[in-house]
A and B are shown apart, each in its own frame.
Chain A
Amino acid sequence: MVEKTKTASFTRRNVLAAAAAAAGAGFAGRGPVPPVDAGDSDDDVAIVKQLTGKIPAKSDRIHLAMPRSFPNGYTVPLSLDIDSPMTEADHVRHVRVFAPRNPLIEVARFHFVPRRSEPRVSTRIRLAEPQYVLAAAEMNDGALLMTKTWVEVATNGCA
């Protein structure tokens, strides 16, 4: 039995392959692309762009709080807080969380309603290995604000 929701799963391999193909088209004829460091921010931007269809802007209005190191990957605490007045004219539509080094990248999407809910949540997530966790908030004007935080886990929470 196949769940409809399953089809929306993104893996790191699919996403990076598609992102590389898209980037490659732009670089055609310009020679080899220089290698990038692991954990380079271009990689994160490419992943977020691939998953959301928008180019994210690094912002200090979005705060992602997670422990820098955590003994197990099964229940890693995560808190998100976005600076916003939450009026009709200026609010957060939703915020998405990605863990690019998990077998499935998408973690969650939180939807907010202006004047009714605050763009502030806490939950607990699974992480397969040490990585940057990414958060991308879509504002009512369509802007995508992004931040990331490094989390070191000692055990695989996805096995």
Chain B
Amino acid sequence: MFTPIPRVQVPGVAAKGEIFQVKALISHQMETGLRRDPQGEAIPRKIIHKFACRYNNVVVFDVDLHEAIAANPYIEFYLRATESGRLEFIWEEDGGQTYALTHQLTVG
């Protein structure tokens, strides 16, 4: 097993009203629960089942992920720059573990 590493690519500065791109990636096996180990035992499901982006504590985009999302889930999405503040990215794994990153955005 390895530790999932979350990464995001977000601009540091945006004009007010501008739509900017966010690229979010987390290294994760996304074990579907459909596979069996060499002894024939089912390998339990362990996926990232939720991703959310908060902008100054308001959820502005979120995703429910199912088993058919590829390993190392990559999500590219678009937000509108409304005010300077903190962007928070949260990944939730089966079993309750979460991974998070924050990013400071300046809107001028």
What chain A residues lie within 8 Å of B65 (beta carbons)?
Answer: 108
> Can you name 12 A-B pairs with beta carbons within 8 Å?
A1-B44, A75-B70, A108-B69, A111-B62, A116-B61, A117-B79, A123-B73, A125-B69, A126-B70, A158-B34, A158-B67, A158-B68
Given A3-B45, A121-B76, A124-B74, CB of A108 within 8 Å of CB of B34: no
User: What does DSSP make chain B's interface, helix, strand, loop or mixed?
Assistant: strand
**Contact assessment for B70 and A122 in the assembled complex, using a CB-CB cutoff below 8 Å:** no
Taking CB atoms, residues of chain A closer than 8 Å to B68 are 99, 102, 104, 106-108, 125-127, 158
B103 lies within 8 A of chain A by Cβ: no
* Measured CA separation A66–B78 after assembly (Å): 19
Question: Counting CB contacts under 8 A, is A118 at the interface?
Answer: yes
From the candidates A74, A76, A104, A116, name the one contacting B80 in the complex (CB within 8 A): A116
Chain B contact patch, size range: 20 to 34
B60 close to A110 (CB less than 8 A): no
> For chain A residues 97-139, which have a beta carbon within 8 Å of chain B?
99, 102-104, 106-113, 115-118, 120-127
Q: Report how far A126 CA is from B80 CA in the complex, Å.
A: 30
A108 pairs with B19, CB closer than 8 A: no
